[in-house]
Chain A
Amino acid sequence: MSGAEGLGASVARKEDRRFLLGRGRYTDDITLPGQTHAVFVRSPHAHATIRSIDASQALKAPGVLAVLTGADVAADDLGGIPCGWTITNKDGSKMVAPPHPALAQGKARHAGDPVAMVIAETRAQAKDAAQLVEVDYGPQPAVAHLNAAVADGAPQVWDEAPGNVCFDWHLGDAAATEAEFAKADRVVSLDLTNNRVAPNAIEPRAANGHFDDVDDRYTLYTTSQNPHLIRLLMGAFTLKVPEHKLRIVAPDVGGGFGSKIFHYAEELLVLWASRRVGRPVKWTSDRSEAFLSDAHGRDHVTHAELALTSDGKFRGLRVRTLANMGAYLSTFAPAIPTYLHATLLSGPYVIPAIYAEVKAIFTNTVLLDAVRGAGRPEATYLLERLVDKAARELGIDRVEIRRQNLIQPNQFPYQTPVALQYDIGDYPATLDMALQAIDYGKFGERKAESAKHGKLRGFGISTYIEACGIAPSALVGALGAGAGLYEAATVRVHPTGSVSVFTGTHSHGQGHETTFAQLVNERLGIPIENIEVVHGDTDRIPFGMGTYGSRSAAVGGSAIYKAIDKIVEKSKKIAAHLLEASVADIEFEDGKFRVAGTDREKTFGEIAFTAYVPHNYPIETTEPGLEDSAFYDPKNFTFPGGCHLVEVEVDPETGVVEVVDVAIADDVGVIINPMIVDGQAHGGLAHGIGQALLEECVYDDDGQLLSGSFMSYCMPRAADLPSFKVGNHVTACTHNPTGIKGVGEVGAIGVPPAVINAVIDALAPLGVTDISMPATPEKVWRAIQAAQGGAA
């Protein structure tokens, strides 16, 4: 159809009005009758035994209803927070998966580890009383950084994980890679750190739990990207309540970026506490508490080597990575540096042999897991930094070295040496599109102009690939996932022809209420104002896996398409009956069922009405009603890719880096709503530029988080960023019915190495060859001083 509201239409969003009027309904906005409030007492130590907890003074404080500790959690047999992915070590053994109690049992293992929970009539009273809980800690030696954690004699986070190793894993053909390196003309190597970042959705996490003893049912409002996953984990592992007694609602959610995927102790505890105190219990995180309790991202230390021929052809890649897990294993933590990182190391290039080794390490820090991009930014960063370094060392143009190694459009499907098979792409096209958008040919003129103002201008490039919609279920199961990765949809056509779509994905900014309605409009021709998209409530939607890894449109949208196929098929039977024709002769186009080659037709609305008022109806063969569901399990990942270009100006006097131009060309597959797709790219770019220049979770050697608030953790602001030039070149995904690939993470994946490559390019005339993320003014200034032989 592709009409005014179908595929390709930049329809303004249906969900905007409530947000613009201040009528969004976020978790903390919900206050239930009899509401009480919870505040957590958290360990100030990175590693400490808990000798005793004295709550007697807190219990006497005004308004206090209960103080709960690890002992109460154990007494009620609450399950530990499970890890949903098991990695198999090189030697065939399984990774170390230590227990993760909801409240610390005898030991705290990171600063911020919850130790006790205070419940009171008001939040202020709970906060006051939390100050009165006396915890007698026995501080232990702690370790926060990867290299320190693997050093001889390092403090041990877990007795069962000697050397702090969670797993020691590898991927690829070591011998074949060794052989390529042995015969290579050149080997280029690089040591890199991928900086630790905090997700920082602007809405802090919150949870409001209510146990209703009349119908023996639990309701949890929580800031989640995947309410059914939370229900599954609570039902099977933590709260241990049958799922039909659990309702999980993720209402309006103020951004996720990965951090709201995981099952967190606090959401379990408010629901459990509600049963204990007999009233609803609400917890809302402070921002400083979020820094100590939301899963962080990245935190890799990597040694990477690229083997090349003398004319710049890639022959082999060897990567050794240490990945920080934090003190416990978050829900999907082990999958991030393995199956979402090492599998991406071929990038968009032909590299005949690749071998990657990943050691996951426990430290006394906050847990780490997926943050926008999740593993793929780390892979892209190391590869694109390495390719740039190779170009410089071999004296080859940075654009040309990429161009000559790109997988060509006629090479698809392309099997990489690291497990993935890319279905389709056109990497030369996105490269050229981006170069044109930034007017690469005139970079020299711009550089000269910048120089007149005392600024060093640099050009940075990154050609990247990512993998979205992780699947199929059978494959991820074989790789260690504890869940399936399909998606579900129910399409309910109402008697008057309006439609409700129930999706298992979740929208927390992505705009599904609009884009999924556009999918229905595309197929059924119904105006989007007559289409409702429902998500986020396990009592209303089918069992689905939620939203992460840029999967919603590609996987969730495909489930909607499958459900619509069933609706159309049934509608044709009804139409055939009404039109007294055979089903095979019925065509469906522009919202009308027509007998092929005639003008005899019925509208979709007439069919819907007939389905629910089946007076004249093929009742012998067809049931009344018009509603169907589908579960879609993808055949493969989708593979968006493209080219990100950045120009920076560096002030050599101050080290300040200004991003002056960003031009990107992505291939995210078929586009539903170009305006929303561009918006997703913009957000990802800001996130990626933030990681490259501003953001870092800094721990001291004792495991104290030094950048634990917005005072010290530098978030990207409007004035830190330019406007972005965003282009798209579409090749449709070949293995799903929508052709969609996914767009939520491309910016965060592609742009960080382009920024750093631009900074290094700007500083290259001064002799600087390396700079790490975030490239803060201090770091840049010191690098300049060191390269110039000054005191840095």
Chain B
Amino acid sequence: MAILLRSLLLLVPGLLALSAFAASGEVRVIDPWVQEAPPNAKVLAAYLEINNSGAKTQIVTAVGSPAFERVEIHRTIADRNMAGMELLKELTILPNSSIYMKPGGLHFMLIGARKRLRAGDMVPLNLTLKDGNTLAVSATVRAAKPGERPADHAKHGNHAH
């Protein structure tokens, strides 16, 4: 039923904004955060969980942020000896599953910060889905030093709006 409703909405250009709202029930971003970096760091990383509760595979094709020049989807490949990075064109989230973007693995590489970001700052991230929907989320900058981490670590449920 939800799929039918969404298909109908997609047919109406004037209601495109609403279609993003409809997608929020299926794709949501949980606990997005950015690790605070040294003042002169040229790049940062954003981590989050993307959950797809729908019956259709969802694909994230692009990510952007007004706080950065460019955002790329990356995966760190590390074994016991070497570490490297791989640029990904898209992220696929299978039906009823999540992908977890965590330190040492998948991350959004944030390139060219417009200003120095400190713990407690918020970073807006815009995810574009292959079906045309977008998700706007806000990631919290957290200190690398665990003792200084904000207490809202467990805050979940950053739905699209």
Task: State yes or no: do A and B come from one complex.
Answer: no
The chain A residues found within 8 Å of chain B, CB to CB, are none
Chain B residues within CB distance 8 Å of chain A: none
